[in-house]
């Protein structure tokens, strides 16, 4: 019944290395896009927003301008 001997200093370094790698992976996903990809995404979002706004029905303001509801 012998236990595995663990070097705590090395364990801490390995843990820190893994955390840094996770953060680096997240940064690659977030910031690692080319300018053309960012521009394409922005253009698609703007086009979708315009298309959505084109189908919007403007509601008349509440007050004396509309016909009565009864």
3-class SS string, the chain: CCCCCCCHHHHHHHHHHHHHHHHHHHHHHHHCCCHHHHHHHHHHHHHHHHHHHHCCCCCCCCCCCCCCCC
| Mean pLDDT, residues 35-48 taken together | 93
Judge if pTM exceeds 0.75.
no
Q: Give a yes or no: residue 24 inside a domain.
A: yes
The residue range of the domain holding 26 is 8-49
Q: Give a yes or no: residue 60 inside a domain.
A: no
Looking at the structure of the chain, the number of domains it has is 1
Q: Give a yes or no: residue 42 inside a domain.
A: yes
State yes or no: pLDDT of 7 exceeds 70. Answer: yes
Cα 21 from Cα 24, distance rounded (Å): 5
Cα 36 from Cα 19, distance rounded (Å): 30
| Mean pLDDT, residues 9-19 taken together | 96
Q: Give a yes or no: residue 16 inside a domain.
A: yes
* Contact indicator for 60, 66 with CB cutoff of 8 Å: yes
Q: Give a yes or no: residue 13 inside a domain.
A: yes
Q: Give a yes or no: residue 19 inside a domain.
A: yes
State yes or no: pLDDT of 23 exceeds 70. Answer: yes
Confidence of residue 30 (pLDDT cuts 50, 70, 90): confident
Q: Give a yes or no: residue 28 inside a domain.
A: yes
């Amino acid at each position: 019944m012998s236990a595995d001997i663990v070097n705590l200093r090395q364990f801490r370094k390995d843990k820190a290395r893994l955390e840094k790698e996770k953060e680096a992976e997240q940064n690659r996903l977030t910031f690692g896009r080319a300018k053309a990809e960012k521009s394409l995404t922005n253009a698609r979002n703007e086009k979708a927003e315009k298309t959505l706004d084109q189908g919007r029905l403007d509601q008349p303001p509440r007050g004396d301008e509309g016909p009565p509801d009864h």
